[in-house]
Amino acid sequence: MELRAYIVRRVLLLIPVLFGVTVFIFGITMLFSPIERASLYVRSARQMSNLPLIIETYGLDRPFWEQYGTWVSQVFHGNLGWSTVVHMPVWDAIWSFLPATVELAIFATPIIILAGIFLGSQAAAHKDKAVDHLSRVAAIAGWSLPTFWLGLVLLMVFYGYFRGILPPDRLNHQMSIVVNSADFVRYTHINTLDAILNLNGPVLLDALRHLILPVTTLSIVSVAFIMRLMRSSMLESLGKGYILTARAKGLAERVVINKHARRNALIPVITVSGYVFAGLANGVVITETIFTFKGIGWWAAQAATRLDIASVLGFALFNAVLFVGVNLIVDILYTRVDPRVRLGGVMQ
Amino acid sequence: MTGWKFMVRQLARNPLSLAGIIIIFIFAIIAIFAPLIAPTPAGHGDPYLIPRDGYWATPQLPSEEHPFGTTEGQYDIFYGVIWGTRSAFRVGLVVIGIVVVIGIILGSLAGYLGGVIDEVIMRITDIFLAFPALILAMAIVTVMEPSLTSIMIALIVVSWPSYARLIRGDILQVREEDYIEASRGLGASNARVIIRHALPNAIYPTVIMASLDIGAVVLSAAALSFLGLGAPEGYADWGQLTSFARNWIVGPSADPLRYWFAVTIPGLFILFFVLGWNLLGDAFRDIFDPRLARR
């Protein structure tokens, strides 16, 4: 099967999944009465008197499938309801909080991938030596760590004991004034990137200082995961015939490991990038809350504790769509990286 | 069963898994004897609600009366972590127990019967697996009443699909084996073939995943109640106890680590509890996966 046909088939397969996801999310809202559901769209106390009108407009007293149809078409038009915690439409809230989260992901992802791959291949290359045992214990301890607790302990040490050397929030007071001033052009709302584009050194340094702890907290579990996976994948690859050939023709051990074993061992790591994405998505909710790093995770956690149902469901839907998309891209990349993968599972 | 004897012998031989067993054993003792270790004050009512010593905001340092100190709002940390052990066991064991049962039923139906039933069950799992788990759990808890039960329901909803898939895959593998053919040929019913022949041979990967997941489930539950979702205020729960320390990370400027006990102690209980299950799960994996053990 051609790659293009494969992609089309995979995209078509997404339709039932996305249909199910939306029915499920909508089904959750159906646990509430029409009046409660109408209040998800209410923007101010004044509008509370318009509840019957809202019920009428969105057809909230109609049969399930009719309501579902209205709801989905609203979602396609970007209307996910009103976020009461931040006083703006849910859709706008997602877009205004996303850059902060993207910034965390931009720093965390390369750390997870590079550290995980490096540590994992080191452990495999020194199997059953001290490095390997240490990495095993570190990995198990790593994914036993409650990340919210790790974040608090890091704050206690680096914000409390070391007198605010690594503080919470995204920028200190002075730098937020700079960033919000007229001279500072906000191209992306990603602080580090904007600072570079504005050639503003102090803002860049301050933004980086605020990123160290959240990025560490966010990466640690995924690093442990990738490290263990890389180790076993590397061990498998080291047992293959081509490694024997490479060693037999007298290549240096370093070349054998780096060029022959590691490249082939990377393939299974690519297949789990979906899991890493899910780990980041789950992780930002906790991490951003602890460090008051105001991204979508922080916003969703605020919404959840204050029963802002429209925001929580909008956030869940947004993440599901993103996650499904990431998995699609991973599957497509996988066929490019490993030509041995048979597309569509049909004999060619 | 020789398989189980072999497993126990292997577990006792590996120092890491032995450490895991000892940790879980200690926690089990704490949970069982909670009423003796941290007696509920007379006339207190529900023992799972942590007794308070006043309503003052500032956490109090460890003392004879409060061995681990108190949190903000004067909840006794020692009482909370001891009774919280029971909550942790309950969440971990109940969620994983129910999820394994659901997984076994749906997974073996899908794997063994195949066809439309398989297709329907697998498409439903696709829907649940389309969400990052903690985010879906958060959404479910938000729309339910604040209680530990809501957390457990949410975690069951997000966890069953992986088990159904795992068991389906394993059943598919053993379905074509000769001994299954043989018992079918002898006229055994579908239910009998699944329960007596297919499942016992396909269950090991599930045991590994379940033991690794007890830790993960307790972590997720703690994360949710740390966020303020689920357990009502004052319920003996490690995640919530940790969240009480959020305003007290930094002490007065002369003594910045003053409230270290409120920040660290509940988290250490979570860490060791989860560590115990993960050490055990890791050892299970080595034992059951001979492909890995040989290396």
CA B48 to chain centre: 19
State the average pLDDT over residues B203-230: 89
Q: Rounded to an integer, what distance in angstroms lies between the CA atom of residue A38 and that of residue A53?
A: 9
Residue B294 binned pLDDT confidence (cut-offs 50, 70, 90): very low
Q: To the nearest whole angstrom, how far is the Cα of B33 from the nearest Cα of chain A? A: 25
Q: How far apart are CA A78 and CA A83, in angstroms?
A: 13
Distance from CA of B217 to the nearest CA of A (A): 11
Shortest Cα–Cα distance, A177 to chain B (Å): 25
Q: Which residues contact A221 (CB under 8 A, 6 or more apart)?
A: A142, A143, A145, A147, A279, A283
Identify the residue among A40, A128, A148 best suited for mutation to test binding to B, counting B beta carbons within 10 A and taking the highest. A148
Q: Hey, what's the torsion of the CAs at B281, B286, B288, B292, to 10 degrees?
A: 140
The predicted structure's pLDDT at residue B149: 93
For residue B262, the model assigns a pLDDT of 85
Residue B8: the pLDDT is 74
pTM listed for this prediction: 0.89
- Compute the mean pLDDT over every residue in chain B, rounded to the nearest whole number: 86
ipTM over 0.90: no
Residues of chain A with pLDDT under 70: 1, 338-348
The Cα A136–Cα B17 span in angstroms is 13
Q: What separation in angstroms does the CA of A204 have from each of A176, A193, A214, B50, B126?
A: 12, 8, 16, 46, 42
Return the pLDDT at A341: 59
Contact flag B131-A319 (C-beta cutoff 8 Å): yes
pLDDT of residue B22: 93
Residues of chain B with C-beta less than 8 angstroms from the C-beta of A31:
143
Q: Between chains, do B271 and A149 touch, taking CB under 8 Å as contact? A: yes
Q: How far is CA A35 from CA A60, A273, B259, in A?
A: 8, 42, 46
B78: nearest Cα among B69, B87, B91, B89: B69
Who wins on pLDDT, A339 or B248? B248
Does pLDDT of B201 surpass 80?
A: no
DSSP assigned state of B70: B
Q: Are the CB atoms for A323 and A281 separated by under 8 Å?
A: yes
Residue of chain B minimizing CA distance to A19? B127
Per-residue pLDDT at B3:
63
CB of B150 closer than 8 Å to CB of B230: yes
User: Quick one: pLDDT at residue B230?
Assistant: 82
Listed as own residue / partner, the contacts of A205-208 with beta carbons closer than 8 Å and 24 or more positions apart are A206/A171, A206/A172, A206/A175, A207/A170, A207/A171, A207/A175
Pick A316's closest partner by Cβ from B136, B256, B275. Answer: B136
Average pLDDT over residues B92-115: 92
User: Could you give phi then psi for residue A320, rounded to 5 degrees?
Assistant: -65, -45
